[in-house]
Amino acid sequence: MWFKNLVLYRLSTWKDSAESLSERLSHRPLQSCTGSDLQCSGWLPPNDEDFVYTLPPHLLICLGIEKKLLPASVIAQQARHRAEEFEQTRGYKPGRKQMKDIKDEAMDELLPRAFSVQRKTYAWIDPQNQWLVVDSANLGRAEEVLETLRKCGVEFSAAPLCTRLSPVTAMTQWLVEDTLPSVFTIDQDCELRARQDERMKVRYAHHSLEGSEIRQHVQGGKEVSRLALTWGQKISFVLDEALQLRRLSPLDILSEGSNASEEAFDNDFALMTSEFSHLIRDLVEALDGVDER
């Protein structure tokens, strides 16, 4: 149980206990899509037991999404066949509104036979330290978790983490001025973009970032929008301009602590929450603290 990507929210209000949260989530479990549903959502037990996995003060929940696989090309092909039948029967081609109706009918016919896929989005809640963290590289999916919590009647207030120093400003300074706190080290991946035109980007992968070339890009009007870092010689990750942490990977010093026993889930979650809590704290400090405005 290791999150791969972090979308960070700052909790200002959280009222539910683990028991009351589990009760709320149990009223909205994930159900399989019916014949006419393209997508459905609901909660799943994170560890095949309760709807909330608890390791005080930490809570773990899991939102499940089931979606029908129905490619647009398949719908279009079926609609073309129906349109040809329409023309043969009536002697003229269907108009715009009729064609829309034909496509809708084709979708309704194909949906019950479509295959379904399921994905899971985990969220870690730490009311004591005021964090709600979603394991996703997609902000929309993270917001989906929060919205579904609200639909279940969970009372909380959360906002995306904001720091006094913006990630873009900080990453540029770290790379050019060598002001990165010692608990972090810079790796070999980064992305720079032009201040005036975000389409102008330069990416480095597996490349030394210590040369004058980077400084020349910054002097030419570019700033760092993504930067690969390692924290405490334990966890590598990529920090982006939206203050999201991507591609988190525990290094050997932590990976050796994982095991395949029945207690692996408990041990991994305990280790993850402990290490990530310190990582987030150090990152926020490096960005001059939380912006409470």
DSSP state at residue 229: E
Does residue 38 lie in a domain region? yes
Q: Are residues 11 and 83 in the same domain?
A: no
d(CA 5, CA 141): 12
d(CA 132, CA 126): 6
d(CA 179, CA 173): 6
Q: Are residues 101 and 65 in the same domain?
A: no
Q: What is the pLDDT of residues 202-248, one digit of tens each?
A: 888 888 887 678 888 888 889 999 999 999 999 999 999 999 999 99
Q: What does the mean pLDDT of the chain come to?
A: 89
d(CA 181, CA 285): 9
d(CA 220, CA 18): 52
Q: Are residues 269 and 210 in the same domain?
A: yes
Does residue 292 lie in a domain region? no
Q: What is the pLDDT of residues 173-214, one digit of tens each?
A: 998 888 999 999 999 999 999 887 778 888 888 888 876 788
Q: Are residues 137 and 263 in the same domain?
A: no
The residues near 50 (Cβ < 8 Å, ≥ 6 apart) are 22
Q: Are residues 193 and 215 in the same domain?
A: yes
State how many domains the chain has.
3
Does residue 293 lie in a domain region? no
Structure tokens at 68: 């029908």
Q: Are residues 242 and 131 in the same domain?
A: no
Does residue 1 lie in a domain region? no
Q: Are residues 80 and 221 in the same domain?
A: no
d(CA 80, CA 148): 38
Q: What is the pLDDT of residue 253?
A: 58
Instruction: Supply the range of the domain harboring residue 78.
Output: 72-112
Alpha-carbon distance values, 92 to 85, 125, 273 (Å): 10, 60, 65
